[in-house]
Each structure stands twice: as C-alpha cells, then as structure tokens.
Copies of this chain bind each other. A is one copy, B any other.
Amino acid sequence: MDELHNLHRPEDLRQAFRKYLKRHGIKHTVARRKILDAVLELHGHFEAEQALNLLHEHGHNVGKATVYRTLPLLVDCGILKQVRFEVKQAHYEHAFGEGPHDHMICRRCGRITEFASEDVLELCARIARRHHFHVTGHRFQFFGLCWECSIRCPVAALPLPSETEASHRHTRE
C-alpha cells in the first residue's frame, strides 16, 4: 500500500503504479498503462465494464479479462478503492485526492452521497481497541431516504416505488 493521499496528478499516479509494479516484480505493460489511464478518466463510482468501454471507445483493444486482472493491482497499489453497495458487482473510486469518506445511499432514487469520516475513523479505532482487532480498512454506509425523496414522500415508513404496485413484489431489491 503506497501513501498517495497527497498525490493526484496523473504523472504521479502513473509513476506510483510503475514503482509498485517493479517493487512486486510485475511487468509494466501497455495494457496496464492504458487501463490506469482509462480509470483516471472515470470519476465518481464506476464499474469494471465502464473502464472497458472507455478503452474500446478510445480504440484500445484491451480484453475484459485484463481489466479484471488489473483492477485489483490498482487497488493494492492504493490508486483505487473498491466499494460495494447493495448490488453484487464491484464498484471502484479514486483513492487519492479527497480524504477518507463514507457513503449514504438513498433507497428510493439510488443517489449516493459521500460524507467525511473523521468521527467514523475514531469510533472504528475505539471499537477495534476494545476487541484487540487490527483495523486496516472499514466500510460504513447507511441507507434510507435522501432529503429530496423524503420531501416527496413524507411518510417515515419508506414506501418504496415497488411497494405501490403489488405486481412488483418480487423484483424489489
């Protein structure tokens, strides 16, 4: 894990990746470089396939498997962070720049809002100390209604859109 908290220029990240690869005896190939570049062009939360699509749009012939094999390297290197929401597929976000944060997910509109997590880190440390656990990372998310949705739908009981039609009962997620 590199410390990239204050580096966020593409050149710095590319160099960090190169150093990481060399340090681990992994080869620095065109495909890996292209995948890093694609990933740097994506913002917010993105999935593996979005990186792949971007590569194809740019005319780069990179295989899906290579993307899936490279993303874990970028995570391990500290350039990306893996984030999992209520879906099964993995999402990624940049691990540099903006400080540590966590996520609020609106069950109604799906919007994901970030919030800074100093307090979370502190709480995390306190609980971990109590259990003799050595923390290296955490995930804190909460679910509910964002402000806009709670205005449109003032009932506290969270009636999901699918709730209003009986036929959608099984497609809820």
* Cα–Cα distance between A3 and B168 once the two chains are bound (Å): 24
Identical copies of this chain, number? 2
Query: B142 and A128: CB pair below 8 A?
Result: yes
A166 touches B25 (CB 8 A): yes
Q: A62–B86 Cα gap in the complex (Å)?
A: 27
Alpha-carbon separation in the docked complex, A146 to B134 (Å): 6
Given the interface pairs A128-B104, A131-B104, the reply to whether A170 lies near B123 with Cβ below 8 Å is no
CB of A30 within 8 A of chain B? Answer: no
Interface residues of A in 58-95 (CB under 8 A from B): 69, 72-73, 76, 84, 86, 88-90
- The residues in A between 115 and 150 inclusive whose CB is less than 8 angstroms from any CB of B are 115, 119-120, 123-124, 126-128, 130-147, 150
Number of chain A residues close to chain B: CB under 8 A: 52
* A145 pairs with B139, CB closer than 8 A: no
Does A7 have its Cβ within 8 Å of any Cβ on chain B? no
Question: Would you call A127 and B150 a contact (CB within 8 A)?
Answer: no
Among B84, B138, B156, B169, point to the contact of A140 (Cβ < 8 A).
B138
- CA A115 to CA B107, docked complex, whole Å: 25
A158 to B99, CA, bound (A): 22
Listed A/B pairs (26) with beta-carbon separation below 8 Å: A24-B166, A25-B166, A72-B170, A72-B173, A84-B84, A84-B86, A88-B89, A104-B133, A113-B131, A115-B127, A115-B130, A128-B144, A132-B150, A133-B142, A133-B147, A133-B150, A134-B144, A134-B146, A135-B142, A135-B143, A136-B158, A137-B142, A138-B141, A138-B142, A139-B142, A139-B143
